[in-house]
Amino acid sequence: MRSLLVAFAVSNLLVSNAAMSQQEQPPSAIKASPLGREALRNAQTEGKEAAYEAGTWFGRSMLIGALTGLIGTGITYAVASGSRPPHMSRDQELIIANEPIEWRRMYENAFVSEAKRRRKKSVLVGGLIGTGIVATIIVVGSTPQ
């Protein structure tokens, strides 16, 4: 039971650190553009919204967490952190094709960073849920009746 509490405490620290490390583009990067701040902010917002269509690794990480525990969850999180960024769908590429190059870069950067952030978060949450389910089954199964 104590190890389960430690696992949840560690997961909360990892999720909060990951959320703090993923921030929007610095204002200096937006100021230098001839397109204007508002247009680039819109590109960033639309890129982040489009990232919600990219898949996550929740299901597979839940299975890995159930089979391998916290070690497997940690390894899967490291793999998700270092994996190549997800690609935009063909429809998304066609939608932004007529936009200026700076706008497209901002959109793509926002898309990739948000999709990777969501992937890492889903790996962590899924792995911890899978580990928690197995730990609960073991604890409940081992208690004398």
Distance CA 67, CA 70 (A): 10
* Residue that is written with structure tokens 């389960």 in the block: 4
Which residue, 40, 57, 27, is CA-closest to 108? 40
What is d(CA 102, CA 82) in angstroms, rounded to the nearest whole number? 26
pLDDT digits (tens, 9 = 90+) for 34-46: 668 888 888 899 9
User: Is the CB of residue 63 less than 8 Å from the CB of residue 130?
Assistant: yes
What's the farthest any 2 CA atoms get from each other in the chain? 72
For the chain, what are the domain ranges?
A: 2-142
Q: Per residue in 118-128, pLDDT tens? A: 999 999 999 99
Q: What is the pTM of this model?
A: 0.67
What pLDDT, on the 0 to 100 scale, is given for residue 136? 93
The kind and range of the H/E element at 84 are none
The residue whose two tokens read 């939608």 is 95
Q: What is the pLDDT along the chain (145 residues), one digit of tens a residue?
A: 444 444 444 454 444 444 444 444 444 444 455 668 888 888 899 989 888 888 788 888 999 999 999 899 899 999 888 888 778 888 888 888 888 889 899 999 999 999 999 999 999 999 999 999 999 999 998 888 7
